[in-house]
Amino acid sequence: MKMLDRYRSHREATRRARAIERALRQANSPAVRDEIRIIAQRHYG
């Protein structure tokens, strides 16, 4: 894998992680947080 591809992949993973963290912080109920976690685990393993 090229260095640039690794950089892009890492940047995208970081962006996704930040988006999930932001969604978890903004969720106002534990049930919504649980749903976000389940979806993230299913999608990103």
pLDDT tens track for 1-45:
699 999 999 999 999 999 999 999 999 999 999 999 999 999 877
Per-residue pLDDT, 30: 96
> Domains of the chain: which residue ranges?
3-44
Radius of gyration of the chain (CA): 13
- DSSP structure string for the chain: --HHHHHHHHHHHHHHHHHHHHHHHH--SHHHHHHHHHHHHHHH-
The Cα 20–Cα 10 span in angstroms is: 15
pTM, whole model, 2 decimals? 0.76
Per-residue pLDDT, 43: 83
